[in-house]
Each structure stands twice: as structure tokens, then as C-alpha cells.
Structure 1
Amino acid sequence: MKLKHKIHLSSTLLMFFVLLILAVVIYYSFSSLAYETEVERLEAEVEVMVATFNANSSEESPDNILRAYVPVDGLIKEKNQSSNLLSTIQRPSVDVEFPNDVAGTSGHMAVEGEQFAYVTAPVIWPGGEVVELIVAQSLREVTANLATLRLVLISVTMLSMIPIFLSSALLGRVLTRPIEGLTGTMRRIQRDGSFEKLPVARESRDELSQMGVTFNEMIGLLEENYRKQEEFVSNASHELKTPLTVISSYADLLQRRGAQDPALQEEALTAIRTETERMRQLIEQLLHIARRSQAQMDWQKTDLEPVLKQVMTAMNASYDRDFRLQLQQPLIVETDVQQLKQLLYILLDNARKYSEDSIDMEAGNNGAVYIKIRDYGVGIPKESLPHVFERFYRVDKARSRETGGFGLGLSLAKELADSLHLRLEIDSIEQLGTTVTIVFSGNFNVEELQSGQEG
């Protein structure tokens, strides 16, 4: 069953049951009130009758006195203390055999399918005997009125179901129209391979409108990721094409002339080894980027000083350069140490490639913990700064190839920074150098110092 039919059926049945329960409550409340009112009215008449009967001092027959008080469509029965029926005074319109025993002093009961209100009262008979009177009155009018009320309630309930039926059908269509549009759009996307968005009324803020906005945002992200994936594959293919071409060319040259020319053989082997190493580095970086989505973070509070010293020691030992570290104060942060080290290695290696001078790293706290890596190399043009974190983007392609860069280092650094909840800021002046700043989103240093002082 379709969702709109489920909404239609469920809302219609729900309203039907609500109206049915309401009608039943109204009917039984009114019938109870009507019966109780008739019983109370009969009790008042019986009180007057008993008072008049007890005050009578004449020699007139008791039956004659009681006959004047017999209710319309009613009767009066007389019983002595032995529960023997003395007589019954009954209107001609009453053609039922009313029972001699009733429950309680007043109430209403059904006799042969007809409702009666009754009241019992004791009176003093001439001669001093106490006699119990049962006064009963037919409730035909009340029953007829209740039948009319029942008919009215049924009619109103049925008539009310017509607009409810139509409105619930309309409600089902209104609620499912955006879902049907979403389903149709998804089918067209699946069939045509296009990235289509839903038309959404921006002024509406209901859940269905929010669903459409969220779907459009998701489609936008998918389209952007698809475009980036195509660009990534294209750039990766281009980067792999060059070393493969060089290897293929030198392999052909070796096959033709390598055996006769040792110098050419050495040149070819060197070129093949160099290009193979470049391919290995590129593939490692590509694999590392692919594995970023599966990386598990190991968060812990860490003192930056030993971490930064280890990184700088490793860089000084690996390269014939001067890597200098400056710490202003003890700095405590919450991070993944291994991922942070990898980020620092990438940024320091990038600074090393494009600078012949020393490289400085400074860490401090100016409201937020930061790490600055500063080189004094060729710098980056101002117009290139917004693009340096894009994959395969290189400011100077010829120079990058000489240094072995693929344009993936800073892109990987940006992904690492995002996963560590860090902000990367880059500032550069051509021919003067570049400064990359890592800013931590949380400041745990003050908290750690306070707890240390309390201890």
C-alpha cells in the first residue's frame, strides 16, 4: 500500500473512531441525565402525594385518594408488611405487568422492553397499618427523544466523515508529493547519471521543505565530490603518464643501443630508477589520501614540547639543514600525537623543498595554542594562496617537478588538520618566505596549569 493511501486510511479511521466515541459519550451522558431527571421529578410528586395522604383524616377510601395522584402513563401498587399485594391502580395506557419487588427506593428499569421510573414510599393506612407504595411512570417520551438523539448523532457522524474523508485524501497527497518528487528525481539521477535538484520553496520551513533542502545539499556535495574525483583521476593519470613515458622511452633506447654504449646504459638506468622512485612516492601519497577516511583517532592530552623536539630532531638528522625550535611556555593540547607528527613532517618537508635557508618552528599561546612553521625561501604568489591546499595544485610546475613535488603534500596536510580539528593559516611574501600556522581549536593549557597549581 502506498504511503498516501496509508495516511488517507489511517487518518479517516482515526477521525471516525474519535467521532464515534464522542457520539457514544454524548448519548449515554444525555440518556443518564434524562432518566435521572425523570426519577427526581417523580420523587417530588411522590413526596407531595405521601404528605397529602398522611394528612387526610376523612373516612374516604385510600384508593380514591391515591387514584388522584397516579402519574400519566403510570401506576401505583400497594403492599403490606408481609409483601402481600393489596391492590394496583394503573392507567389504561400502561399495559405491562410491573414487578412487585424493585431494587432501592428509586431508579429506572426496563419492563417488557419499556423503560419506567419508579419510587417507593411508606404510608400509614387507615387502621394504623404501614403500607409500601410503588409509584411507577413510563418513560416513553424520554425513550423517543433518545431515539431521535441517536439518529441525529449517527447522521452527524456520517455527514462529518465526508469532509474528513476528502481532507485526509488531500492531506495524503500533500504530504507525499515532495516524497514522490524526491523519488522521481532519484530515479532520473540513476537513469541519466545527472545531478538534479528538487525545486524547494525557501520561505517554507516545514519538515518536508527541510528534507528537500537537505537532499539538494547532499546532491551538491555528491556533484562536487564527483567533479573532484574526475579531476583527481585525471591529474593522477597525468602525473603517472610522465614517468611511464620516460621509463618506456629509455627502455626502448636500451633495447636498441644499450649494449653498445655503457654511458647511455648508465643514463637510462639512472632515469628509470629516478622515475620509478617518483612513481612510488606518488602512489604512496595517493594511497595515504585514500586511507584517510578509515583512520581512527587516538585522542589524548599531550605536552607539545617533547613532540615538537622529536620532530625537529628527526628533521635535523635526516637533512643537512638547520631546523630551529622556539617554545614560549609549556603547552598542553588534546590531539592524536601520531597524526600531529605526520602533519608537522609534511609542512616541514614542504618548507625544506622550497627554501635553502634555515627553518624556524615556534609554538605558543595567544588565546589559542598555535604552532608556526616559517621558511625564508621563494614564497608563494598572492593569487596562488587560496589554491595551495587543492590536490595536484602547484605554484610553479617546473620547479615542483625539480623538487619532486606532486601537489599532494599540502592537500594531505589540510585533511590531517581537519581530522584533528585544527585550523591551517598560510601567509607568504614572494622572495621573503612562507609561514604556515597551525591553530588548535581547544585550549587545554590553562586548565592543565590550574590543576597543577591546585595539586
Structure 2
Amino acid sequence: MKLAQRMTLYSTGLLFLILLAVNIGIYFVFQQNLLEGEKDRTLEQAQAITAAVSAQPDENPTSFIESYVSGNGMLRIISPEGSSLLTVTTQNTEITAIPAGDPNPGRERTRAFEFDGVSYASAEVPLLWEDGAVVTLEVTEPMAMYEETLQILQFVLIFATAVILFPSFLAARSLSRFILRPVQALVSTMKQIEQKGTFQKIPLDQKRSDEFADMGQTFNHMIDLLRENYEKQQQFVSDASHELKTPLTIIYSYAQLLKRRGMDKPEIFNESVEAISSEAARMKELTNQMLALASGENAAVEKKVLSPAPLFRDTARQLALAYDRNIITDADDNTFIEGNEIQIKQLAYLLIENALKYSMSDVFVYVRKQGDYVTVGVQDKGIGIHEKDLPFVFDRFYRVDKARTRSGGGTGLGLSIAKQITEYHEGKIYVESLPEKGSNFYSVFPAVKKEPKL
């Protein structure tokens, strides 16, 4: 059973139970009040007869009482012993078979009972009889109005219940459809996504501001994230395959050359081994950087208060020895940020190595505190970057000069990783460059106070 049908049946069934309980309560309260009214009416009639008899002491009470019998009722005089002294009826003589109640001389009493399928009300009042004895006057009247009124009440309650339930059922069905419309749209969209394999959004009503509108907005936001991640994945795979294709082709070509002529010509052998070694090293660097970039997007690392100055200073010293180059360092040890030591050191490696690849002159490394921020950067006097290329230098696999970059061993991933590390540390990375004048890459981080040693 669908949710809309269950909601309709549940709400209608619950309303039916409520109406049933209310109707039963109304019926029994009305029945009790009506019954008490019938008994009070019979008692008033008996009291009126008693008062009339007492007001005419000289007349024969038997003939006087007979004049008060009307319709299908019955008057009866009951002795203190419980025997009937006088029974008077007009039309329905069968009710004379109704047994008298228990003797109760001197007290008034009312009761309701059913005899031969008919409801009756009876009232007993004390009466001074002609011989001076205190007898009981019993007045019995059929409750025809009582039964007729109850039947009308039953019909009214059943009709009212039906009149209420039918529109309520229609309203519940319409309401369930209205409420579940966003859910049905969500299910339909998800089925289309499953069948067509495309990312689709739910059309939203901008006027709605309820929970279903929040659900739709959340779903659409999730679709945006999935599409963005899917496009990034596709772009990453495409770029990675493109970057790996060239070194693999070179390695394969030189390997084939070695098989054909490598043993006969030493110069070809040396050239092939050197080329294969160089391309293998470049592939290793590319793979490591791609793995670092991918893992950095998903892994959360521990941060602590640290100074980037010694990290940049040590990295500059190591790279100066490795590249046999002169690197000038101006690092302020009184600068502190909240970060991860491994990632900040990787940032220093990426920025300094990038400057060494595109500059043959000295490289300048600096760490400074400027107000509430700490700036770390690397400046070179190399080939520089054209203004049209500046917005793209931090994109994955982007190369300003592919020929120069490939000859220098670059992969186009280093600056993208540097940007990612900077943003993970709540910082921003910038570049200032002029063609043939050099470049200045620097990252700006929020400064923090040094934690006191305990």
C-alpha cells in the first residue's frame, strides 16, 4: 500500500474512531437525560393524581382515579402487603400482567423497564386510601416518545458521521497528495538519474518555505556537489592520462630502439637509458604529486601552533645543496600560525622548487609578519608569467610554457597542491609576475600567538 493511501486511511480511520466515541457519548447522555425526563413526567402525573384525590376526601377514590387513565397507560393501587387493590387501564389490557414492584409504602419511587418489547416508565407515590390505610399509587406509562426520539437521534448521528467522513476522506486524500508531491518529484528525479545516468535537479517552488522546500534545496545542493565532484574526477582522469601518455610513449620508443640497435651502437644505448631514466623519474614525481593532491582532498590532518620560518629555512638549505644554487633566506622566527608541519614544509618545497625551475639567478625566500597575518613567499628573477596566464597558474596541470616546463621536469601540479595546502590552513595564495622580470609567489595565513610552554 502506498504512503498516500495509508495516510488517507489512517486519518479517516482516526476521525471515524473519534466520531464514534463522541457519538456514543452523546447518545448515552441524551438517552439518560431523556429517560430521567420520562420518569420525572410520570412521577409528576402520579403526584398530581394523589393531590387531586386528597383534595376530594368525600368522593369515591376509585371512580375518581379511573378518570385519570388515558391512552395505553395504567393506574394501580397496591396494598402495603404488595397485592393489587385496584388496576385501571383503557386500551392496553395486556400491561396489567406487569408485576408490581416491591412494597414500599410511604415512599416515592420511579423506575423504567421493558415489557413485551415496549419501554415503560413507572412512578410510585404514597396515597391515603378510603379505609385510612396508606397504599401505593402506581402510574405506568409507555415511553413512545422516548423510543421515537432515540431512533431519530441514531439516524441523525449516523447521517452526520457519514456527512463528515466522506468530505474528510476526500480532503485527506487531497492533502496526502499535496504533501507527498515533493517526495514523488524526488523519487521521479532519482529514477530519471538512475535510468539516464545524468544529474538532474528537482524543480522548486520559490514561494514555499517548509520542510519539503528544505529537502528539495538540500537534494539540489547534493546534486551540485555530485556533479562538481564527478566533473573534477573526469577532469583529473583526463589530465592524468594526458600527462602520463607522453613519458610512457617516450619510454616505449626508446625501449624499442634499444631492442633494435642498442647493442650495436653504444651512443644509442646511453641515450636511451638516459631518456628512460629521466622520463621514469618524471613519472614518479608526477605520480607522487597526484597522490598527494588526491589524498589532500580527503584527509584531515592535525594542526598545531608552529613557526613556518625554520621550515622554510631548512627546506631552502636542502634544495640549495641539491640544485647547487644560491638561495637567500629572510625568515622571522617570531611568526606563528596554526598548521600542520608536514604540509607547511611541503608548501615550502613546492614554492622554492618552482622558483628554481624557472630562474637561473638567486632565489629569495622570506617569512614575515604583517599585522594579523603571516606571509611566506619565494621570489625569483626568472622568465616570469604573462598577465593573461596569471589567473590559471594554480589550476591543475596548467602550464604557462609547455616546452620550458617539460624541459624543466614540471608536471603542472605543484602550484595546485600549494594552493590546496594554503586554503586548508585558512590562507590565500597570490602571484605577482612580469615577463622576463621574475615572479613572486606568496601565501598569507592568519597569525596566532605562541603557546606558552608548561
Range into which the TM-score falls when normalised by the shorter chain: 0.7 to 0.9
Q: In the aligned structure 1, how far is the partner of 2:29 from the partner of 2:161?
A: 17
1:131 equivalent in structure 2: 135
For 2:238, what is the secondary structure of its paired residue? helix
2:221 is the alignment partner of 1:222: no
Which amino acid is the alignment partner of residue 306 of structure 2? L
Task: Return the index of the structure with the highest Cα Rg.
Answer: 2
2:156 is the alignment partner of 1:152: yes
Note the 1:91-170 alignment, pairs <5 A: 92-93=91-92, 95-96=94-95, 97-101=97-101, 105-126=109-130, 129-170=133-174
For 1:319, what is the secondary structure of its paired residue? helix
Q: Which residues of structure 1 form unaligned runs of 5+?
A: none
Distance 1:155 1:267, change over 3 A: same
Per-residue CA deviations over 1:228-266 (Å, capped at 9, x if unaligned) read 222111100011012112212322333334334444433
Which amino acid is the alignment partner of residue 125 of structure 2? A
2:398 equivalent in structure 1: 393
- For the 8 Å contact 2:119–2:142, the answer to whether it is kept is yes
- For the 8 Å contact 2:366–2:377, the answer to whether it is kept is yes
Q: CA RMSD in A?
A: 4.0
Q: Displacement of 1:64 after TM fit?
A: 4.5
1:406 equivalent in structure 2: 411
- For the 8 Å contact 1:121–1:132, the answer to whether it is kept is yes
For 2:205, what is the secondary structure of its paired residue? coil
2:246 is the alignment partner of 1:246: no
Per-residue CA deviations over 1:55-84 (Å, capped at 9, x if unaligned) read 536143444455555576433444444444
Which amino acid is the alignment partner of residue 429 of structure 2? I
1:200 equivalent in structure 2: 204
Q: Displacement of 1:352 after TM fit?
A: 0.7
2:367 is the alignment partner of 1:361: yes
Note the 1:56-455 alignment, pairs <5 A: 56=55, 58-67=57-66, 73-90=72-89, 92-93=91-92, 95-96=94-95, 97-101=97-101, 105-126=109-130, 129-292=133-296, 295=299, 302-305=304-307, 308=308, 311-312=311-312, 314-316=314-316, 318-320=318-320, 321=327, 325-326=331-332, 328=334, 340-355=340-355, 356-362=362-368, 366=372, 371-377=374-380, 387=392, 389-402=394-407, 404-412=409-417, 422-430=425-433, 431=438, 433-439=440-446
Q: Displacement of 1:411 after TM fit?
A: 4.1
Which amino acid is the alignment partner of residue 366 of structure 2? D
Q: In the aligned structure 2, how far is the partner of 1:76 from the partner of 1:141?
A: 20
Q: In the aligned structure 2, how far is the partner of 1:319 from the partner of 1:174?
A: 68
Q: In the aligned structure 1, how far is the partner of 2:412 from the partner of 2:33?
A: 89
Q: Could you tell me the TM-score, scaled by structure 2's length?
A: 0.76
- For the 8 Å contact 1:423–1:438, the answer to whether it is kept is yes
- Identical amino acids, percent of aligned pairs: 31
Q: In the aligned structure 2, how far is the partner of 1:290 from the partner of 1:277?
A: 20
Per-residue CA deviations over 1:154-202 (Å, capped at 9, x if unaligned) read 2333344443444444445444554444444333333333333333332
Q: In the aligned structure 2, how far is the partner of 1:405 from the partner of 1:94?
A: 123
Which amino acid is the alignment partner of residue 413 of structure 2? L
Which stretch shifts more, 7-16 or 242-251?
7-16
Q: In the aligned structure 2, how far is the partner of 1:436 from the partner of 1:330?
A: 14
Q: Could you tell me the TM-score, scaled by structure 1's length?
A: 0.76
- For the 8 Å contact 1:125–1:131, the answer to whether it is kept is yes
Q: In the aligned structure 1, how far is the partner of 2:99 from the partner of 2:297?
A: 89
Which amino acid is the alignment partner of residue 376 of structure 1? Q
Per-residue CA deviations over 1:356-387 (Å, capped at 9, x if unaligned) read 53323346883xxx543222236776665654
2:3 equivalent in structure 1: 3
Distance 1:273 1:329, change over 3 A: closer
Q: Displacement of 1:425 after TM fit?
A: 1.4
- For the 8 Å contact 1:79–1:132, the answer to whether it is kept is yes
Distance 1:425 1:294, change over 3 A: closer
